C-alpha cells in the first residue's frame, strides 16, 4: 500500500470520526433542532454510546495508521469492513454504520440507486416502517478493507520472516 493511500484512508477516518462525534454531541446539547429528543427517543442511549465508541475507534485507528503502528492497520481494516454492507429489513434488523467516503449501491424492493458522498452514521435497531428491505454496498469501504487486509497480512508475514 502506498504511503499516499495510507494517509488518505487515515485522514478520512479521522475527519469523519470527528464529524460523527460532533453530530452526536450537538444533538445531545440540543444545538440541532429537537436533537435531544432525537437522541432519547429515536436513536436511543445504546446507539448513542456505541456511536461514540465507533467514531472514537475510527479516529484512533486513523491516527495509528498515520503513525505506522501495526494495530492501526488491523483496526482500520475492522472499521472499514463493518461499513461495507448496511442492511434494513422492515419489522427486522437495521444496521447502518459509516465513517468515511461513500460510493454506494443501494438496492431495495422498489428501487436501485447509486450514491456518492461522505458518511458519518451509526445506528443498530429495528426498521418499523418503509421499504420491505434496503441493502447498501459501500464500494469504497470494500476496496479499502481489502487493501488494508492485504497490507496487514503482508506486514505480519515480513515481521514473521524477520524474526
Could you give the CA distance from residue 83 to residue 96 in angstroms, rounded to a whole number? 8
* Chain centroid, CA 159 distance in Å: 29
What is the extent of the structural domain holding 87?
3-162
Nearest CA-CA partner of 73 in 59, 60, 61: 61
Could you give the CA distance from residue 65 to residue 113 in angstroms, rounded to a whole number? 32
The pLDDT score that the predictor gives to residue 156 is 73
Strands (DSSP E) found in the chain: 85-89, 92-108, 112-127, 133-138
Highest mean pLDDT among 37-41, 64-68, 159-163: 64-68
Total domains present in the chain: 1
Residue 163 scores a pLDDT above 60: no
pLDDT, average across residues 63-80: 94
Residues 6+ apart with CB under 8 A from 41: none
* Length of the chain, in residues: 163
Please report, for residues 12, 107, 110, the alpha-carbon distance to residue 48 in angstroms, rounded to integers and kept in the order given. Answer: 21, 27, 30
119-145 pLDDT per residue, tens:
888 899 998 888 899 999 999 999 999
1-33 pLDDT per residue, tens:
899 999 999 999 999 999 999 999 999 998 989
β partners of residue 115: 104
Amino acid at each position: 500500500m502506498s504511503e499516499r493511500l495510507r494517509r488518505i484512508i487515515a485522514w478520512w477516518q479521522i475527519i469523519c470520526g470527528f464529524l460523527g462525534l460532533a453530530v452526536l454531541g450537538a444533538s445531545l446539547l440540543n444545538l440541532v433542532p429537537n436533537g435531544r429528543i432525537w437522541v432519547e427517543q429515536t436513536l436511543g442511549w445504546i446507539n448513542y454510546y456505541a456511536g461514540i465508541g465507533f467514531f472514537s475507534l475510527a479516529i484512533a485507528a486513523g491516527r495509528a495508521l498515520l503513525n505506522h503502528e501495526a494495530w492501526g492497520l488491523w483496526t482500520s481494516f475492522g472499521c472499514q469492513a463493518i461499513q461495507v454492507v448496511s442492511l434494513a429489513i422492515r419489522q427486522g434488523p437495521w444496521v447502518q454504520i459509516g465513517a468515511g467516503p461513500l460510493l454506494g449501491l443501494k438496492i431495495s424492493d422498489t428501487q436501485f440507486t447509486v450514491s456518492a458522498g461522505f458518511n458519518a452514521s451509526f445506528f443498530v435497531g429495528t426498521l418499523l416502517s418503509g421499504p420491505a428491505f434496503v441493502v447498501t454496498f459501500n464500494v469504497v469501504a470494500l476496496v479499502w478493507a481489502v487493501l488494508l487486509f492485504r497490507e496487514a497480512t503482508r506486514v505480519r508475514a515480513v515481521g514473521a520472516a524477520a524474526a
